[in-house]
Structure 1
Amino acid sequence: MDVLILGAGGREHALAAALAGSPRLGRLLVAPGNPGTAAIATNLALDPTDPAAVVALARREAVGLVVVGPEAPLVAGVADALEAAGIPVFGPSRAAARLEGSKGFTKDLARDFAIPTAGYGRFDSREAAEAHLAAIPYPTVIKADGLAAGKGVVIAADRAEAARTLEFMFGGGFGVAGASVVIEEFLEGEELSFFALCDGTRALPFASAQDHKRVGDGDTGPNTGGMGAISPAPVLDAALEARIMAEIVVPTLRGLAERGTPFKGVLFAGLMLTAAGPKLIEYNVRFGDPETQAFLPRLDQDLLPLLDAVARGALPEGPVRFRPEVGVSVVVAARGYPDAPLKGTEIRGLDAAAAAEGVTLFHAGTRAEDGRILADGGRVLTLTGLGPDAGAARARAYAAVDRLDWPEGFCRRDIGLRGGAAGSSTGGGRSGA
């Protein structure tokens, strides 16, 4: 089977690496891809958010399955166009993708189907939102309703910070994504990323991870798209997984089906483990980045039949098999990220980092030029270490980071310590981390 992956980031490189080993795979195409995917697949120029262009490419290449990596093509209706053309696609329809495309939509769905989540209000005007600020306790959480590349969430410590946040969002700081906002009750607890494969009617637990969203060590600084992850999540056990499926994932799948928008793809639940039990923070409708880089190297079965089964609405009976190793993924970002990342600097030492024991290196924001690899984004590389425990996995990941020769790059040094994961990071390396 020939497969087309849409996207250009570290998640797509991880998907390509996992699919490349499938005995069922014919050609592997990635559009537009990056220098990492170019080494294991054929990169093709394409705007993945253009439904007509995606369908034309899939037809021309006669692919048997399209795997949509990022959220933007899904919100743009790429999966709908492919299904209408009779081309199997892994990813939900535009209507179902509103779970990620509109945080207010998700909160309303949770309310209507008794899915545990934080109390909230939805506001389309700054004036109404500011009036709400006078009646709530702090800290509070303010979210841009639409897609904001993982950065549209602010935890406001007091009313003054909340007012500044509203001014930024309603002033166009996140473009149309901030034209409407959700203001939520602040939840205390441990965060968890939980992934389930869904075929429209059934859901199958897939993987878990814990992400590290803030840019600095100790969860300091602004939110980012994710600075690293550990998988499996140290806080997850079988009883908690069963509760998440019964109270959150299954009701969501049922609610969408009842509304005539069945969900096919991967449902990525961002959860808070509170004293009252797991509560939904938000949904994503695609694999996470960098969570995918942490858990796919642990997968102990062929990924392609799983994705194909989802696309065809025929999930197999579980469980999905993973190796017992722990995966720790460390994101190396360009200096200035998340505000104004420095682009165009050369990254050396990639071969040495990739050759480190138990490590896989994934490209994200890179480009090739004259035989060199240059930084071309905010989050530029992800290095994943596998080990028998979190400490060993972290040591391998950071040992690989320290083989990079990229003074303009930086990383957090505490990835994998959350949730009781043990181990200590290595010292600063030539990556400037």
Structure 2
Amino acid sequence: MKVLVVGGGGREHALAWKIKQSPRVERVFVAPGNAGTAIDAENVAIGDADVPALVKFAKDNAIDLAVIGPESSLAVGIVDALSAAGIKAFGPSKQAAELEASKVFCKNLLRHADVPTADFRTFRDAASATAYLVEREDQPMVVKADGLAAGKGVIVCETKAEALEAVQRIAGDREFGAAGSQLVVEERLVGEEASVLAITDGRNIITLPAAQDHKAAYDGDRGPNTGGMGAYSPAPLVTPALLEQIQERILVPTIHQMKRSRRPFRGILYAGLMVTKHGIKVLEYNVRFGDPECQPILMRLQSDLVDVLEATVDGKLDEIAPLVWDERPAVCVVMASEGYPGKYQTGRPIRGLEQAAAIPDVKVFHAGTTLKGDQVVTNGGRVLGVTGLGATIAQAKLQAYTAVKQIRWEGAWCRKDISDKAHA
């Protein structure tokens, strides 16, 4: 088999690395890839949203399966285009991808499916959202840009003044561009966050072990939201009983409602959840593997990923054997560029990758990297996802941070407390 992975981040490196392990696969291409995928696969110089060029490459190279990583590629309909060209593609259609691409669509669907979520209102402009907030009592709120904003279009506000400022940034100043053409204002939920990813072919669901992401930039969950500063799996917070409840009350009703809406969903359904004292509630849905949740989850997967992806596309998930997992937990620590999630420099040489790779039960997944000659240099805000396995979560954390200490570049930083919530 020949497989094309679309994307260039840490998630795509993890996917390419895992797919390459399948005895059924002879070649793995990654478009556009990064310095890590250049080692574990073959990079193709095509942007992940250049649909015509990707379809042409897939046809010219007789690709047997395309696996789409980024939400932006799914939102422009790459799965539809590849399928129309006779290429098997893993991921939801453009219409189904609206579950992530439009927070307004998602919240309305949750309401119709009777899936628990935060109370909310949707608005088409800054003036109406401002008028609504002015009349409300001063309480913590969350303001969300409707469209895709690379994980940064959600502003958590402690006060009414902060919420009004968030509305102005999103819908007035258009800080996130077209993503701010509509917005959601919702109550702020209090509790512990967890991520549950499920693979579905539209009829059958395989729920993956829970993970916990760390969205805030700094230790103790302080600072601005990022695309994710680290993750670990499994998350003790999500017990087997709670996982069953999530499947029955959240995932299954959502997939049924998508079918009723004539947007059948195939691919990864990623539920961002808040475990509150009033029960579990959906914060948001993503329609692809999370980044960095993908890294620790795939580090633990022992089954052939290609079998699972292909069965999803073919609508035959009920025919594959139960997935096999390494019982050891995995912890992924994101190393970022100075200034992230704001402005940052690129092109800084990275040292110590070989030393980190030599540590047992560690894999360094590349995200924002590129090659400058033979030198790996930084090329993004989130640069590496250093992932370790261990007999316990504490041991997995130690493995990951031992590897982190080997890696250096000017301005490198990371959170020091990834996975500590597991012991709280």
| Fold in common (TM above 0.5) | yes
The residue aligned with 1:2 is 2
User: CA offset at residue 207 of structure 1?
Assistant: 2.9
SS of 2:315's equivalent in the other structure is coil
Work out which of the residue numbers 357, 372, 377 in structure 2 matches 1:374. 377
Whole-angstrom CA distance in 1 between matches of 2:78 and 2:265: 14
Whole-angstrom CA distance in 1 between matches of 2:189 and 2:321: 32
Contact 2:13/2:37 (8 A) holds in 1: yes
Contact 1:117/1:280 (8 A) holds in 2: yes
Whole-angstrom CA distance in 1 between matches of 2:151 and 2:169: 16
- 1:127-153, Cα deviation, whole Å (9 max, x unpaired): 110111131551101111110101111
User: CA offset at residue 87 of structure 1?
Assistant: 1.1
Between 1:133-142 and 1:289-298, the stretch displaced more is: 133-142
Please show how residues 30-429 of structure 1 align to structure 2 within 5 Å.
Answer: 30-134=30-134, 135-170=136-171, 171-316=173-318, 319-420=322-423
Letter in 2 for 1:191: E
Whole-angstrom CA distance in 1 between matches of 2:149 and 2:26: 35
Whole-angstrom CA distance in 2 between matches of 1:223 and 1:196: 24
- 1:305-363, Cα deviation, whole Å (9 max, x unpaired): 00011111111356422111110000000000000022111111111111112211011
- 1:41-76, Cα deviation, whole Å (9 max, x unpaired): 111111221222221111011011000011011000
User: CA offset at residue 302 of structure 1?
Assistant: 0.7
Whole-angstrom CA distance in 2 between matches of 1:226 and 1:279: 20
User: CA offset at residue 99 of structure 1?
Assistant: 0.5
Whole-angstrom CA distance in 2 between matches of 1:109 and 1:167: 26
Whole-angstrom CA distance in 1 between matches of 2:210 and 2:409: 31
Contact 2:348/2:410 (8 A) holds in 1: no
Contact 1:205/1:320 (8 A) holds in 2: no
Question: How well do the aligned residues superpose, as a CA RMSD in angstroms?
Answer: 1.1
Matched length: 421
Between 1:49-58 and 1:246-255, the stretch displaced more is: 49-58
SS of 1:226's equivalent in the other structure is coil
Contact 2:393/2:422 (8 A) holds in 1: no
What percent of counterpart residues are identical?
47
Whole-angstrom CA distance in 2 between matches of 1:370 and 1:419: 41
User: CA offset at residue 213 of structure 1?
Assistant: 0.3
Whole-angstrom CA distance in 2 between matches of 1:40 and 1:187: 41
User: CA offset at residue 206 of structure 1?
Assistant: 1.9
Q: Are residues 82 and 271 of structure 1, via their aligned partners in 2, closer, same or farther at CA, if it must alter by over 3 Å? A: same
Letter in 2 for 1:200: G
User: CA offset at residue 202 of structure 1?
Assistant: 1.8
Q: Are residues 72 and 372 of structure 1, via their aligned partners in 2, closer, same or farther at CA, if it must alter by over 3 Å? A: same
The residue aligned with 1:431 is none
Contact 1:194/1:269 (8 A) holds in 2: yes
SS of 1:172's equivalent in the other structure is coil
Whole-angstrom CA distance in 2 between matches of 1:50 and 1:29: 15
Whole-angstrom CA distance in 2 between matches of 1:243 and 1:374: 44
Whole-angstrom CA distance in 2 between matches of 1:404 and 1:26: 31
Whole-angstrom CA distance in 1 between matches of 2:137 and 2:324: 45
Letter in 2 for 1:396: Q
The residue aligned with 2:24 is 24
Contact 1:192/1:271 (8 A) holds in 2: yes
User: CA offset at residue 180 of structure 1?
Assistant: 1.1
The residue aligned with 1:426 is none
